[in-house]
Amino acid sequence: MPRPLSYILSEVGVAAGLAFNGLPAHAGQTDAIRLLDKTAPAGTPLALHIGGRVVSRDGYQRQWPGTYWETAFRGSAVDLAVGPGAVSLRIRVDGGPPVSLVRPAPGLYRIAAKGPGAHRVRIDVASESQTEPSVLRGLYAPRGVTPLPAPAARPRQIEFIGDSHTVGYGNTSPVRQCSQDAIWRTTDTTQGVAGVTAAKYDADYQVNAISGRGVVRNYGGFAAPTLPEAYPFALFDGRTPAATPGWHPQVVVIALGTNDFSTPLKPGERWADRDALHTDYEHRYVAFVGWLRMAYPNAFFVLWATDLADGEIAREVGKVTETLRAGGERRVAFVPVNGLSFTGCDSHPSVADDQRIAAAIERAIDAQPDIWGAR
């Protein structure tokens, strides 16, 4: 049974630090990441290609998972300025193995590259930030390093909308029982459904997902904005509207329902019974997809669901898909995914499960021959 509320608690009281989490730096690609002295100058700002929702405030403030920054330079190192807010980062130089920077203290970090030639660096957020935003102040060229144009935006774009299964909550953990610190170190959106699928198609992506949230009901009935309520905003403040110029995904992948149905209704919740919950869920989910259709008129929608809750989630998502089709929606597919191991933290999908889910989504995408031409 998923326990996504533990992720919120995990953001409190864990010491900041540099951790390699079983992903050591590769000597041929990234020789070191080190925190510079507080007096070190920031250098020349580098041009960035940014994926995900960010707010230009004290650098780049973000709260939705899966944000990433890419830059290019000529020289032997680049500096990363980390601001406040708990975050777990994955850093790659020239496409090499990732190095984990888990809950780093604010400051300037030097990332070494192999040799003085042209290099590319990618910084991925692998964690959630439900309690507060985190800030990346930028990437900088230290003295002797030449800024290069930012990597170009990719022509393919995929948006992922969901809950902890889309976040990649605890997916790299070898055990189900995890401490709060272990959840921080084993949640990796880059190895989750979104990261795997986007890499397959060399696509830019957004991950607009929050652990514990549902369509009309959150996990255990806890009070917080549902995913459709939080979705229009760049931050989880309900005030800062999301605005991503140039974002026109050809594919939108949605997985919502686990938190609506994985726990029994409690006294005081607004639904008289399960049937009332089903009706509300179906109506709201259909309306949410209709709202997304207006935003993305040519996108293809993939709605996927596991067989958790004795198949209730998949049955309900299937009904939503049928209702959409009956209303004239043609660019939509329902993808049930059965038989996952759920061996990640708190019985969440593992990396192997994420790969199976991604493969099922990819089959639905590949069945649409014109999908990448539709904008």
Provide the annotated active-site residues: 164
Nearest to 205 by CA among 224, 187, 218, 192: 192
Which 3-state string (H, E, C) describes 94-142? CCCCCEEEECCCCEEEEEECCCCCEEEEEEEECCCCCCCCEEEEEEEEC
d(CA 307, CA 258): 10
Sign of CA dihedral 342, 345, 351, 354: positive
- Residues 92 and 70: their CA atoms lie apart, in Å, by 10
Report how far residue 32's alpha carbon sits from residue 52's, in angstroms, rounded to the nearest whole number: 27
H or E stretch covering 283: helix 274-295
User: Quick count: other Cβ atoms within 10 Å of Cβ 209?
Assistant: 30
Residue 162 corresponds to which tokens in the numbers above?
Answer: 């969901």
Kind and range of the H or E element at 79?
Answer: strand 77-82
